Amino acid sequence: MSLDLRKVSCDDIIARAQTALQTSFDIDTEVRKRRSLGFRAGRGTWVRIEVRSLDRIDGQGWGIECAAMLTGIAMPSWYQGVSWIDHERGVMWRADETECVSDQAVKLGGTLTAAPDLSESWWSTFSASMTTLAAHTTTRTATPHLQPITQRRFSATIHQAFPELDSHIGEWRVAHADLAWGNLTAPNCYFLDWEDWGMAPRGFDASALWSASLAVPELADRVYRACQADLDSPTGKLARLYHCAEIMAAPAGYAGPLLKPAEAHAAGLVKELQG
């Protein structure tokens, strides 16, 4: 999708969402990302506006609304939503009103290079939510980076670095599919941004967060210990290798301090999987 909301004016979209949801937005609270805008609303809620290219309108529905059926997970409650087509821009818009979470993202953008101050209560909530999420069922397919996660995509990513490795996915679980420190809050643990959730290889979420933590070894180890059963499963090891391979294939300078530990862990995982 070519439309980057960080670089274009969205005043007409913001005005339409306020009218449709019958609430005002506090513009000073704006959170602007590549494909979404967020605002605190006049009645103490949060409104998230998402844009999709028309070729991404499929039978899966909108993730945040569909995620309202999930229970037992620390996530904002969903209240209502409205969507409309924008032929001029060639996209579809969606505005969702949810519970407003006052806690901030653990790390909004960039790579963590220092361990965040997360309590044992935070880790307990995180672990319980991860376990409960994986126990759900859905017909949705996870769409990390906007594309469905399939066996073919999974294998292609791994085989860029390790072409001879058997990368068959033995287990699938429900996943958030965009689990990063920017989508987890503190001091209270909430899981944000559910547009990409669906079925993914077992351990996909845990390995994504683990790999995003590799610049801080004690944090990566804490994620590993919280999700060890999934990460040590055969599919979980492959999921870790997948995320390491993504880091290794990133453009020069993009992976930064994640590259060397990803390479080292990948070498160890290959030995385990081949042994």
Q: Copy the structure tokens of residue 156.
A: 């292609």
Coil, strand or helix at 229:
helix
Task: Please count the CA atoms within 13 angstroms of the CA of 156 that sit on its side-chain side.
Answer: 5
pLDDT at 41: 97
Q: Which CATH architecture best describes the domain 104-274? A: Alpha-Beta Complex (3.90)
| CATH 3.90.1200, the chain: domain bounds | 104-274
Q: Which ranges in the chain belong to alpha helices (H)?
A: 11-21, 63-66, 120-135, 151-161, 204-212, 217-226, 228-231, 234-249, 259-274
pLDDT at 54: 86
pLDDT at 2: 67
| CATH 3.30.200, the chain: domain bounds | 11-99
**C-alpha 148, offset from chain centre:** 13
Q: Copy the structure tokens of residue 120.
A: 């044992």
User: Which of 189, 29, 45, 39 shows the shortest CA–CA distance to 105?
Assistant: 189
- Encode the chain (275 residues) as per-residue pLDDT tens digits: 468 999 999 999 999 999 999 999 999 999 998 889 999 999 999 999 999 988 877 778 788 999 999 999 999 999 999 999 999 999 999 999 999 999 999 998 889 999 999 999 999 999 999 999 999 999 999 999 889 999 999 999 999 999 999 999 999 999 999 999 999 999 999 999 999 999 999 999 999 999 999 999 999 999 999 999 999 999 999 999 999 999 999 987 888 999 999 999 999 999 999 97
Residues 6 or more apart from 194 whose CB is under 8 A from it?
63, 64, 66, 67, 75, 176
pLDDT at 249: 95
pLDDT at 254: 85
Q: Which CATH architecture best describes the domain 11-99? A: 2-Layer Sandwich (3.30)
Integer Cα distance of 39 and 28 in angstroms: 8
The amino acid at 80 = Q
